Amino acid sequence: MALPETVSLPPARADFRDTTVGRLLRRPSALLGLLLLAGILAMAAFADIAFTGDPLDMAGMPLLRPGEDAAFPLGTDMMGRDLASGIFHGARVSLLIGGVAALVSLVIGIGIGALSGYYGGRVDRALMRVTELFQTIPPFLFTLALVAILQPSIATITAAIGITSWSGLARLVRAEVLRLRNSELAQASIILGASDARIIFRHILPNALAPVIVSASILVATAILTESSLSFLGLGDPNVVSWGGMVGAGRETIRTDPHVAAIPGVAIVIAVLALNLLGDGLNDVLSSKGERR
């Protein structure tokens, strides 16, 4: 009983089933979400190879039904544009706008939330006032107004969606940072002499990330919906094909040829559903991370 006994450790746990990804894959709904999302990503990636021409060009007879002509498995619209090609190329635009817009609102939301939660006081009051301002304006009308003023293009639509959808995220990040800022985790860092930047970026934000990741997947879904709505109203980028725009174009023939609007509509539903399933799965997995065994 002399030296402090060297303590033996439990065996290392390298079980894939216990990692976040492993646990996510074991949930059927999250797995379905991931598979659907992977499908949409593949469509976007192979759009140029599968459909070489411009999806906005007339390709065949107008208003072909799905299956009517083997060259156009999903049929054509009233301008004779290939719907399958439109779905593939539209996946690109939808994912691009959804992803980048979510990224823009993540950067703004995390930045404002982190500053507000960490520094508190006057900084917090000022930033939260701005956040409230953004929360009180209905986001879709706000986006609509911005796009109308700026002229619709992929860049302006993305920016407008990003700028109008960060306020909820900022509040979420603020609450998490506030909690962690007063935790022993942050206090231990202060005692070691760590700078604010180190405490925020290396300890607080990584630990506040779980709910942010969950809401990011919902943000992408919402951005895709918003872009579709804008395109449906004719405020999409006229130079590219998008799912919302396709629904809009199919509106005129909805009584005679409902498939023209329905097919891109189904694509939107599947994309949004996939992102929501993924978000729910991530929420379950990340929030129960503490309870192991």
Partner 1 sequence: MSHAVPNEPVLAVDGLSIGFQTRRGLLPAVRELSFSVRSGEMLAIVGESGCGKSLTALALLGLIPPPGRVTGGTVRLEGRDLLALDEAALRRVRGARIAMIFQEPMTALNPVLTVGEQIMEAILEHEPVSRKAARKRTLALLERVRIPDPERRFAEYPHRLSGGMRQRVMIAMALAGAPAVLVADEPTTALDVTIQAQILSLIDELRREQGTAVVFITHDLGVVSRYVDRVLVMYAGRKVEERDTRDLFADPLHPYTRGLIAAQPRAGAGAAGAVRERLAEIPGTVPALAAMPAGCAFAPRCPLADERCVQAVPPPRRAGSGLVACHHAGETHAL
Partner 2 sequence: MPSDAVLAAPAVSAPVTATPVLRVSGLSVEYRTARGVVHALDNVSFELAPGETLGIVGESGCGKSTLARAVVRLLDPSAGTIRLGETDITHATRRRMRAARRDLQMVLQDPAASLDPRWTVGDLLAEPLEIHGIGSRAERRARVADLLDKVGLPPEAAQRRPHEFSGGQRQRIGIARALALEPKVVVLDEPVSALDVSVQAQILNLLTDLQRTLGVSFLFIGHDLSVVEYVSDRVAVMYLGRIVELGGRDSLWRRPAHPYTRALLDAAPRIDGPSAPAGPGLTGDTPSPYDLPSGCRFHTRCPIAADVCRRLAPAMQALSPGHHVACHFPDSGSEPPSMQSAINS
Kindly tell me the sign of the dihedral angle through the C-alpha atoms of 102, 107, 187, 7: positive
Asked if 222 contacts 165 with a C-beta cutoff of 8 angstroms, the reply is yes
Amino acid identity of 130?
Answer: V
> Which of 1-9, 98-106, 269-277, 278-286 is the region at the interface with partner 1 (rule: CB under 8 A)?
1-9
Pull the structure tokens for residue 234.
């004719």
Q: Build a one-symbol-per-residue string for 202-231: x at contacts with partner 1 by CB under 8 A, - elsewhere.
A: ------------------------------
Per DSSP, helices labelled H in the chain are: 20-25, 28-50, 83-119, 121-136, 139-150, 154-164, 167-181, 184-192, 196-198, 205-232, 243-250, 259-287
Q: Which does 254 bind (CB under 5 to 8 A by kind): partner 2, partner 1, none?
A: none
Where along the sequence are the contacts to partner 2 (CB under 8 A)?
A: 1-10, 12-13, 183-185, 187-188, 190-195, 198, 203, 206-207, 292
Residue 10 vs 121, nearer CB to partner 1: 10
Q: Which does 185 bind (CB under 5 to 8 A by kind): partner 2, partner 1, none?
A: partner 2
φ and ψ at residue 82, rounded to 5 degrees: -70, 120
Residue 22 vs 234, nearer CB to partner 2: 22
Report, in Å, the least distance between residue 14 CB and partner 2: 11
Distances from the Cα of 288 to the Cαs of 51, 80, 188, 280, in angstroms? 44, 51, 25, 12
> Which of 3-11, 105-113, 142-150, 250-258 is the region at the interface with partner 1 (rule: CB under 8 A)?
3-11
Residues 8-67 that bind partner 1 (CB under 8 A): 8, 10
Residue 5 interacts with partner 1 (CB under 8 A): yes or no: yes
> Judged by CB under 8 A, how many residues of this single chain contact partner 1?
6
Kindly tell me the sign of the dihedral angle through the C-alpha atoms of 61, 65, 67, 72: positive
Query: Bridge partners of 72?
Result: 69
Q: Which does 197 bind (CB under 5 to 8 A by kind): partner 2, partner 1, none?
A: none
Residues 114-143 that bind partner 1 (CB under 8 A): none
Given the rule CB under 8 A, which residues bind partner 1? 1, 4-5, 7-8, 10
